[in-house]
């Protein structure tokens, strides 16, 4: 195992993040604050409570998930696409490192950035709503698992993408709708029965539900199923990455 290489990639990627720390920090805080003003205060004042939780607090896990999933995907896809675009990937391919180590470095950095933003949003939300976290350790575990699994997804997108347009296509067309329709801002029980069934096919629902359980001790689907969903999703991403590297898909001729 070439730990130094993993460390070098991780530090190199994180330094890009810290170079733009203001944007990295300000934008999630601002967008979260806007969500709280619009959903929490304006709409929430007419909703009261959802499953015994004030609406403002209810949307916190969904908001964090929305940002974390988008950020993890975007960071990881950009992280590996950029060297491909610039041609600097030659160095990764000619270095004494395995594909596993490359993934570890890039996905590790992307997940760290997403985790950082998730925590910032969580802290921001304490300014707007009064809430307590029922299972803090489980909350952190869910958060980290989501950061890692979506960074893996982002890595796949970054390898697959042939242009900057394609790089943004998947997050825009797939992830954002799935997150919005996955119960970020509402409980599934609030939907008509047909939509409740359809929603069950949305993998993001299980992630948000599990994460919400760690906050309030109640969820749309049992926690065990949420964990299983994350495990399956992570496993699936790993399998795809494994195949990509084995076949040299779009990186090696």
Partner 1 sequence: MSAIVSVANLDKTYEGGFQALKSVSLEIEQGEILALLGPNGAGKTTLISTICGMVTPSGGSVQVGGHDIIDDFRQARRLIGLVPQEINLEPFEKVINTVRFSRGLFGKPRDDAKIEQILRALSLWDKKDAAIKELSGGMKRRVLIAKALSHEPRVLFLDEPTAGVDVELRRDMWEVVRGLQKDGVTIILTTHYIEEAEAIADRIGVISKGNILLVEEKDALMARMGQKELQIELQQPLSALPDALSGYALELAGDGRSLTYRYDTSAERTGITTLLGDLAAQGVMLKDVSTRQSSLEDIFVGLVEEKA
Binding site for partner 1 (CB under 8 A): 2, 4-5, 7-9, 11-12, 15-16, 19, 82-83, 86-88, 90-97, 248, 252-253
CB of 88 to partner 1, least distance (A): 5
Which residue's CB is nearer to partner 1, number 87 or number 193? 87
CA–CA dist 253, 247 (Å, integer): 9
Which 3 state secondary structure label does DSSP give 182? Answer: coil
Rounded distance, CA 54 to CA 186, Å? 12
Question: What tokens does 48 get?
Answer: 């009261």
Closest to partner 1 by CB, 49 or 88: 88
C-beta neighbour count of 239 within 10 angstroms: 10
Least separation in angstroms between CB 221 and partner 1: 43
Q: Smallest gap, in angstroms, from Cβ of residue 78 to partner 1?
A: 12
Residue whose CB is less far from partner 1, 14 or 140:
14
Measured from the CB of residue 237, what is the shortest distance to partner 1 in angstroms? Answer: 24
Decide whether 41 or 250 has the Cβ nearer to partner 1: 250
What are all long-range contacts of 170-178, with beta carbons under 8 Å and residues at least 24 apart?
170/73, 170/77, 171/70, 171/73, 171/74, 171/77, 175/69, 175/70, 175/73, 175/150, 175/204, 176/70, 178/202, 178/203, 178/204
Contacts of 71 (CB under 8 A, 6+ apart): 28, 113, 114, 117, 118
Task: Choose between 2 and 234: whose C-beta lies nearer to partner 1.
Answer: 2
Distance CA 110, CA 118 (A): 12
What's the closest the beta carbon of residue 148 comes to partner 1, in angstroms?
22
């Amino acid at each position: 195992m070439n730990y130094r290489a993993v460390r070098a990639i991780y530090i190199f990627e994180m330094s890009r993040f810290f170079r733009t720390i203001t944007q990295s920090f300000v934008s999630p805080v601002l967008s979260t604050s806007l969500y709280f003003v619009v959903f929490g205060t304006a709409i929430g004042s007419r909703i009261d409570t959802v499953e015994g939780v004030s609406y403002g607090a209810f949307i916190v896990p969904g908001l964090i998930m929305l940002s974390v999933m988008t950020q993890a995907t975007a960071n990881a896809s950009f992280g590996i696409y950029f060297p491909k675009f610039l041609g600097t990937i030659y160095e990764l391919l000619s270095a004494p490192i395995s594909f596993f180590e490359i993934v570890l470095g890039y996905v590790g950095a992307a997940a760290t950035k997403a985790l950082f933003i998730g925590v910032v949003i969580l802290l921001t939300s304490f300014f707007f709503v009064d809430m307590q976290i029922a299972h803090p350790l489980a909350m952190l575990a869910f958060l980290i698992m989501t950061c890692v699994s979506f960074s893996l997804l982002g890595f796949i997108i970054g390898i697959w993408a042939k242009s900057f347009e394609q790089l943004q296509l998947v997050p825009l067309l797939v992830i954002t709708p799935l997150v919005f329709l996955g119960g970020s801002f509402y409980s599934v029980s609030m939907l008509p029965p047909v939509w409740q069934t359809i929603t069950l096919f949305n993998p993001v629902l299980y992630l948000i539900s599990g994460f919400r359980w760690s906050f309030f001790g109640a969820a749309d689907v049992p926690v065990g199923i949420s964990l299983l969903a994350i495990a399956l999703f992570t496993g699936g991403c790993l399998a795809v990455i494994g195949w990509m590297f084995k076949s040299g898909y779009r990186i090696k001729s």
